[in-house]
């Protein structure tokens, strides 16, 4: 069972260490990942529009979106 580590403390008086994840961290990590993917998609759209229509001024916003995605 991965939820406790009994082998660290031998004997009958061993304490059980439970591993639990906090729900708030999981929700915030998922939200940050979704925002990161969104910024990467917007940056890709800016780069593609810049190369297809010769609009070089879209490369600076694209680099900022990629920076925010990181």
pLDDT at 52: 86
Over residues 22-50, the mean pLDDT reads 88
Residue 10 within any structural domain of the chain: no
pLDDT at 39: 94
- Residue pLDDT, tens place only, 5-25: 555 555 555 455 555 556 667
Please give the mean pLDDT across all residues of the chain.
78
Cβ(39)–Cβ(26) below 8 Å: no
**Which structure tokens are listed for 15?**
């304490």
Residue 36 within any structural domain of the chain: yes
Measured in whole angstroms, the distance separating CA 12 from the mean position of its chain's CA atoms is 41
Residue 14 within any structural domain of the chain: no
Residue 22 within any structural domain of the chain: no
Give 10's contacts (C-beta < 8 A, 6+ positions apart): none
User: Residue 61 is part of which domain span?
Assistant: 29-69
pLDDT at 46: 92
Cβ(59)–Cβ(46) below 8 Å: yes
Q: Is the pTM of this model over 0.75?
A: no
DSSP-H helix ranges across 1-70: 23-53, 59-69
What's the number of domains the chain is made of? Answer: 1
């Amino acid at each position: 069972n991965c939820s406790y580590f009994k082998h660290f403390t031998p004997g009958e008086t061993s304490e059980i260490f439970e591993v639990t994840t906090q729900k708030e961290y999981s929700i915030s990590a998922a939200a940050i990942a979704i925002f990161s993917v969104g910024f990467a998609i917007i940056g890709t759209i800016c780069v593609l529009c810049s190369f297809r229509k010769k609009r070089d001024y879209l490369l600076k916003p694209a680099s900022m979106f990629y920076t925010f995605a990181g």
